[in-house]
């Protein structure tokens, strides 16, 4: 049996503390989709950020999670606990991802959006949208972990945008059969 002590290929091992660059590089070996999370700030303006830390949590009740850097400008707005939405981006939405990843910029300029049935700001044209109510939040080091309860789903046909090894990818057409 192969164990971690006798790997068949050489593996570089690094114990903590390791530098952030290396940590991010190894995390990048786990591909994710790309989402934009949105809510309103205290002045009633829409805020949002590109997020790849999205994941499913529970089926009953339907829960999902994502984490936001505590120093991110819009983190406070999410912590305030208003309605929020999570938009899954399609493969052609790299530009939208970059727009919502830029700190300080007016992310919403000339963008079509409206309020959803559950009150969160909704972006037009994304692959899927989870309209949510906040459920719980937890400290997670320099991030806050937000758990949200999904109240409504919207989706359309299409392929997702993928983020891996620090860059955007598309899924290959060929399926892997088992």
Ligand X SMILES: Cc1cc2nc3c(=O)[nH]c(=O)nc-3n(C[C@H](O)[C@H](O)[C@H](O)COP(=O)(O)O)c2cc1C
**What does the binding site for ligand X look like in residue numbers (CB under 6 A)?**
34, 49-53, 67-69, 72-74, 97, 100-101, 103-104, 163
DSSP strands (E only) in 28-127: 32-33, 35-40, 46-51, 55-58, 63-69, 84-88, 113-115, 121-123
CB of 96 or CB of 122, closer to ligand X: 96
- Min separation Cβ 103 and ligand X, Å: 4
Distance of CA 138 to the CA centre of its chain: 16
- The minimum distance between CB 35 and ligand X, in angstroms, equals 8
- Residue 164: φ, ψ to 5°: -155, 140
How far, in Å, CA of 113 to CA of 103, rounded?
Answer: 20
* Cβ proximity of 124 and 112 under 8 Å: yes
**Helix (H/G/I), strand (E/B), else coil: 127:** coil
The alpha helices in 59-164, defined as continuous H runs, are 75-79, 94-99
């Amino acid at each position: 049996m192969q164990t971690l002590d006798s790997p068949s290929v050489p593996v570089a091992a690094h114990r903590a503390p390791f530098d952030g660059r290396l940590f991010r590089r190894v995390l990048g070996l786990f591909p994710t989709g790309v989402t934009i999370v949105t809510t309103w700030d205290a002045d009633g303006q829409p805020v949002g950020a590109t997020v790849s830390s999205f994941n499913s949590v529970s089926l009953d009740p339907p829960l999902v999670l994502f984490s936001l850097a505590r120093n991110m400008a819009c983190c406070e707005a999410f912590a305030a606990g208003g309605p929020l939405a999570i938009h899954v981006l399609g493969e052609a939405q790299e530009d939208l991802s970059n727009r919502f990843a830029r700190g300080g910029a007016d992310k919403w300029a000339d963008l079509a959006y409206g309020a959803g049935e559950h009150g969160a700001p909704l972006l037009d044209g994304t692959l899927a949208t989870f309209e949510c109510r906040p459920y719980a939040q937890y400290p997670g080091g320099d991030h806050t972990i937000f758990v949200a309860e999904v109240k409504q789903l919207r989706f359309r046909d299409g392929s997702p945008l993928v983020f891996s090894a620090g860059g955007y990818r598309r899924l290959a057409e060929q399926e892997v059969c088992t």
